[in-house]
Amino acid sequence: MTTHSDFRAAAELVSAAHTVSVVGHLRPDADAIGSVTATVEVLRQLGKDARGYIGQRDPMPTNLNSIPGSEDIVFTSVLPASDLIIVVDCGSQERTGDFEETITGARERTIVVDHHATNPGFGRVNLINTEAESTTTILLDWFDVLGVQITRTIAHGLYAGLVTDTGCFRWGRPVMHTMARRLMEHGLNIREISAELIDKTSLEDLQLVGRIMSRIEMHRAGPYSLAVLVADHATINGHSKAAVEGLIETVRAVDGADFGAVFKEYEPGVFTVSLRSSQLSVGSLAVHLGGGGHVPAAGYTARGTELEALDTLIAAAVELGESLDTSHMARG
């Protein structure tokens, strides 16, 4: 749990820096982009030379362009030198993509702000709260300590992370509604924000989703049932990543499934795997497979054929067995 002293320690590092790089995770979502844009604007209020970066060359999903300041984020393989690095919404160094080596060697001038349960804390100061609904939730608390003015554009970025990481407020603590109300008071058009980030789609995206959804399968994974979608490279190459990334929320809700998985083959033979469950610790499962995340939402990377990737996941679920059952852990 992040304390006031942690926030003050992070503030001291910011005060001592002139140039600051704000880094979000590869294949960014709204929490990552909203966290980067809000933090950059706050730093500029404080007189810092700040810029946002993502450690990949592929551009971000077009729906995230609606977040103010997103157009200024640099997508690159090389992180420029700076006095301070602030890493937001990255559950591990690996999630910083092409910046991993640089950030690993810059621990003493790195602040980590994150809410993923599997984050080991890889900065000099770590503002990590695993109970927080989004990274933007933690950032708002930090911004209060910094004493900055929350502008409409900062509020937009913070709200974008909150509304998407709570599934449009379908899960989270009561404080998420308090935060949403506070941000809305800055004149946000929440209907438009949700439409841009969540609802808007194209005919091509719907057709793509239909092709992938038609392949849904149920499998046994030890004591559990698993709903699986595979978005193979031939199907998704050149298409909207936003449409593909949204598939996991559909799989989560399949009747009779204990957990869901979407295998996304953005590169031939390399699957980005998203896991979701309402009753199992898929975070533990992801960590076992070299990834990370939250108890109910996590991910990892698998290599090989489609069948090999699926067999590896099933074998891991069988090996971990009842230890994944969060209700079982609560009773114990």
pLDDT of res. 6: 96
* pLDDT tens digits, one per residue of 153-202: 999 999 999 999 998 998 899 999 999 999 999 999 999 999 999 888 88
Full-model pTM? 0.87
CATH assignment, 203-331: 3.10.310.30
CA distance to 3, 146, 213, 222, 332, per residue, from 280 (Å): 29, 38, 23, 13, 15
Amino acid found at 255:
D
Quickly state the pLDDT bin for 238 (edges 50, 70, 90): confident
Model confidence at 330: pLDDT above 60: no
DSSP letter at 224? E
pLDDT of res. 325: 87
Q: For the ranges 93-102, 141-150, 208-217, 236-245, which has the lowest average pLDDT?
A: 236-245
pLDDT of res. 299: 92
Quickly state the pLDDT bin for 327 (edges 50, 70, 90): low
The residues, ordered by sequence, that sit 6+ positions from 86 with a Cβ below 8 Å of its Cβ are: 14, 20, 21, 22, 23, 39, 43, 110, 111, 113
pLDDT of res. 249: 80
**Percent of the chain whose predicted confidence (pLDDT) is above 70:** 98
C-alpha span between 120 and 118 (Å, rounded) = 6
Average pLDDT, the chain: 93
Q: Which fold has domain 4-198?
A: inorganic pyrophosphatase (n-terminal core) (3.90.1640)
pLDDT of res. 328: 46
pLDDT of res. 242: 80
* pLDDT tens digits, one per residue of 253-302: 789 999 999 999 999 999 999 999 988 999 999 999 999 888 888 999 99
C-alpha span between 7 and 121 (Å, rounded) = 15
Mean pLDDT calculated for residue range 292-314: 93
Model confidence at 331: pLDDT above 70: no
Closest CA to 166 of 133, 189, 190, 191: 133
Model confidence at 329: pLDDT above 50: no
Which part of the chain has CATH 3.10.310.30? 203-331
Mean pLDDT calculated for residue range 143-160: 98
* pLDDT tens digits, one per residue of 71-115: 999 999 999 999 999 999 999 999 999 999 999 999 999 999 999
Q: In the structure encoding, which two tokens stand for residue 271, read together? A: 């699957």
First-last CA distance in the chain? 24
Mean pLDDT calculated for residue range 57-68: 92
Q: Is 61 helix (H, G, I), strand (E, B) or coil?
A: coil
Strand 297-303 and strand 125-128: the pairing is unpaired
**Percent of the chain whose predicted confidence (pLDDT) is above 90:** 82
Q: For the ranges 61-65, 180-184, 216-220, 302-306, which has the lowest average pLDDT?
A: 61-65
Q: For the ranges 22-31, 84-93, 184-193, 243-252, which has the lowest average pLDDT?
A: 243-252
Q: In the structure encoding, which two tokens stand for residue 45, read together? A: 């209020």
pLDDT of res. 243: 85
Which part of the chain has CATH 3.90.1640.10? 4-198
